[in-house]
Structure formats: C-alpha cells, structure tokens
Amino acid sequence: MKPFPGFPKNVQFAGLPKLFFTELLPHIDDIAELKVSVLLLRALYEKKGYPRFLVDSDLLSDRTLMSGIGGEDALRRGLELAVKRGTVLSLTLEREEKPVQLYFLNTESDHETRDKIEHGEIELGGLSTREIWPDVAERPNIFTLYEENIGMLTPMIGEELKDAERLYPASWIEDAFKEAVSLNKRNWRYIEAILKRWESEGKGHGESGRDSKADTDKYIKGKYGHLVKRRID
C-alpha cells in the first residue's frame, strides 16, 4: 500500500451532516455502502440548483467513486443498502431509452421534491448522461498524475483533464505536473497555465520545466498575467 503523503497546505473540505457520524457510521458494516454513502453525501452537498439530485450516470462517471469501490456491481449493492438504510431516497423515472434512477438526500424537503417529481408537478425535461469512466487499469496517465499530486478528482475537473489530454502531448502534461510540484503549486489551474504558455510560446529545447521558475514568472508578468495569476492563485 502506498503511504498517503499528507494533506496539502490549502486543503479543501467537503461537508457531511453531523448525524452521519452518530446515527449512520456506527451501523454501516459494508464497505461499498460506506463509500457510496460518503460520496453521495459529498456530491449532493456540492450540487447546485433546484431540484437537487443525482442520477445513475453521475455516479458511474465519478472516477473517485468507481476507482475505489470495485466496479458497477459493488456500486449497485452500496446504493441498494444506502437506500434501504434511509441515508438517501430513490426514484425511478421511466424513459423511452431506459429507466433513470434518481437519488436524493433523505431530508423533509427532498421528500417533498421527490414526490413532486413523481407526480409530475416538477418537469425535469431531458436528463443528461455522462460518459462512464473506463476501468482503473485503463485510466489515462493524466488522471493518475492528478490524483497522486493534487488530490480527489471530481467529475468537473475530470472533464477538463480529458480536454487537456486531447490538446497536449503526454510528455508535456507530465512535465507540467513536475514543474508545478517542484514549485509547490499543486493545483490544476497552475498546471493548465503552464501548458497554455508552452503552447503559445514553445516549450523550449526539450527541458522538463523543472528549472523554469523564471519562465513561469515571465508568463505571469506578461500581457494577460493579471488574469492568469488570478486563476492560479
């Protein structure tokens, strides 16, 4: 087992209800249920807009969840147990293509929201689907670099990483991560800025970028430096 290197200086926190630790955690003895419950609570907490819920594809496309739970079968088992325990609420919507499962936090307001959706009082329209992540063994190197050097991968960041993988050579991406880590700038915005600089100005003469702090400062102090600095700070 690879030791955890520790939390970075500017670590971010995700909210979990206090009742989770007193009323749920002591009774959960299935690891799949535990992982699903924690990731569901985190995702629902971060979800914006109304109504607030997750669908199957949200979970299947969550790289952190899928890489840590052991596959779709374990995910389904964890969801079934979380719903049975009452941690979350579920609702099946019939669609022409196939049924869509919705998941809500088990609160009074979400009970009401689920009932309104079920009775047609809230029209959802088309429910978007997301690409399911590949098996862990097939995951692109950029995701491994992110998880090992920055931290937890979210679906939104995952989409940005996939875009970067299409735009830049793999060696550039690896070197950009190395440069950011060497300067203790462990965030994706800084790495993205490095890649964009190399794209516009040229990467140099094959250097990895580990000794390029001067180049980084030049980029920040350039014409659009105020915008770039705001993004990477």
Residues 51 and 110 in one domain: yes
| Local confidence band at 189 (pLDDT 50, 70, 90 cut-offs) | very high
- Same-domain check for residues 104 and 62: yes
Q: Encode pLDDT of 162-188 as tens digits.
A: 888 888 888 889 889 999 999 999 999
Decide: residue 38, CB within 10 A, 0-12 exposed, 13-18 middle, 19+ buried.
buried
Q: What total of structural domains would you count in the chain?
A: 2
In this structure, is residue 128 part of a structural domain?
Answer: no
The enclosing domain of 49 has a CATH number of: 1.10.10
Which residues, 6 or more positions from 188, have their beta carbon under 8 angstroms from its beta carbon? 146, 150, 157, 160, 161
pLDDT at 135: 40
Q: How does DSSP assign 89-138, residue by residue?
A: EEEEE--SSS-EEEEEESSHHHHHHHHHHHTTSS---PPP--PPPPPGGG
Same domain, 165 and 209: yes
| Domain range for 55 | 18-118
Domain final residue, candidates 63, 86, 118: 118
Q: Is the pLDDT of residue 229 over 70?
A: no
pLDDT tens for 25-48 read: 999 999 999 999 998 888 888 777
Same domain, 149 and 213: yes
Structural domain contains residue 1:
no
Over residues 216-226, the pLDDT tens digits come to 454 445 544 55
pLDDT score, position 136: 38
Residue 30 covered by a domain: yes
Identify whether residues 148 and 221 lie together within a single domain.
yes
Lowest mean pLDDT among 61-75, 156-170, 185-199: 61-75
Residues 22 and 55 in one domain: yes
In a domain, 66, yes or no: yes
Average pLDDT over residues 106-110: 93
Among the candidates 118, 151, 169, a domain finishes at 118
Which positions ≥6 away from 134 have C-beta within 8 Å?
none
